[in-house]
Amino acid sequence: MTTTPDPPLGGNVGPSAEPLTAEQEVLDEAAQVMEDLEPIVDMDPLDNPRRLLLVHAHPDDETIGTGVTMASYAAQGALVTLVTCTLGEEGEVLVPELAHLAADRDGGLGEHRVGELAAACEALGVKDHRFLGGAGRYVDSGMMGLPSNARPGCFWQADLDEAAAHLVAVIREVRPQVVVTYDENGGYGHPDHIQAHRVAMRGIEVARDGSWRPDLGEAWSVAKVYWTAVPRSVLQAGIDALRESGQENFFAVESADELPFGVPDAEVTTAVDGALHMEAKVAAMRAHATQISLDGPFFALSNMVGHEIMGMEYYRLVSGEPGEQRDLDGRESDLFSGVG
């Protein structure tokens, strides 16, 4: 026997049954993720005379694009600070057992990738890693042209100055002499990469202006700003190596000129030789298991021509003076060359 009446069928029974907005859900998830994270940095950043800040869009971008650079400077004792702008919730899941984490299934990929990124940073020797505005503040926008680009809370929809303010707080705290991010096209046109570029450039610009949000710390002027670059000749070497190995469908082109992301060799100012740190980069690639397939092109390249292609990382110096130290191609070989 029951003494309480049943609630009306199909109706909401109170305020707690109100549907959450998508943004609120994201913020709640982020708060949970932050609670679960251990504090990572327990030292004063300014104890390190050389400080490098990298701004990337998704977990795995830091490893694929700048892995040996990060490992190399970390090994030399520089402070390497990574800011990742989203959790990469919209990524494709390449591990069948984890396919349920995909955004179009159960979801949860973002939280999973927080762990992958932590493992990758450990492999690279990078101790200072943050998410822009805290984990989950900005959600992956998905590839350009998808409906997810318009979703509230996605990084593509972020207010530029609000997002830049999160980065300004980091810049003024860490005071990096060198910042690395993408070019205006985000390297290859992904909305989150384009937005990471905009946020990084805006953050650098306003961080040096003491009248801009003085509550975020003392003004700091970044000495050198680099955009990641893949020289066209290196891209061509990769295409040729993959074709010879039977992986030709990855790029689906014969010539690097047909791809939107090769940079003319003459525009590449800087080459970091990280061949000694290839093992760390490969370990970090393995850490991003849902994203980088073991039988895919990145591992194929690292096996075949690793030192020439995966062990060298290239940049364009877009702000600041190039250092005098040069390699045989006339390029800078040290991001900090000429600094302090």
Q: Which residue is nearest to Zn ion (CB)?
A: 58
Q: Identify which of residues 101 and 216 has a Cβ nearer to Zn ion in the complex.
A: 101
Give the residue carrying structure tokens 């400077």: 73
**311 phi and psi, to 5 degrees?**
-90, -10
Q: Identify which of residues 53 and 216 has a Cβ nearer to Zn ion in the complex.
A: 53
Among the listed residues 26, 57, 272, 285, the single contact to Zn ion using CB under 5 A: 57
Counting contacts by CB under 5 A, is residue 196 touching Zn ion?
no
Q: How far is the CB of 313 from Zn ion (least distance, A)?
A: 16
Contact between residue 339 and residue 271 where contact means Cβ atoms under 8 Å apart: no
Among the listed residues 50, 51, 58, 277, the single contact to Zn ion using CB under 5 A: 58
CA distance 255 to 146: 28
Among residues 220, 228, 206, the alpha carbon closest in space to that of 177 is found at 220
Counting contacts by CB under 5 A, is residue 90 touching Zn ion?
no
Q: How far is the CB of 138 from Zn ion (least distance, A)?
A: 13
CA distance 225 to 306: 27
Among the listed residues 29, 61, 116, 332, the single contact to Zn ion using CB under 5 A: 61
Q: Identify which of residues 133 and 172 has a Cβ nearer to Zn ion in the complex.
A: 133
Q: How far is the CB of 83 from Zn ion (least distance, A)?
A: 13
Q: Identify which of residues 191 and 238 has a Cβ nearer to Zn ion in the complex.
A: 191
Region 211-240 residues binding Zn ion, contact defined as CB under 5 A:
none
Among residues 175, 138, 162, the alpha carbon closest in space to that of 212 is found at 162
Counting contacts by CB under 5 A, is residue 62 touching Zn ion?
no
CA distance 286 to 280: 10
CA 242, chain centre distance (Å): 25
Contact between residue 331 and residue 268 where contact means Cβ atoms under 8 Å apart: yes
Tokens linked to 47: 């104890």
Q: Identify which of residues 58 and 130 has a Cβ nearer to Zn ion in the complex.
A: 58
User: Could you list the residues that contact Zn ion (CB under 5 A)?
Assistant: 57-58, 61
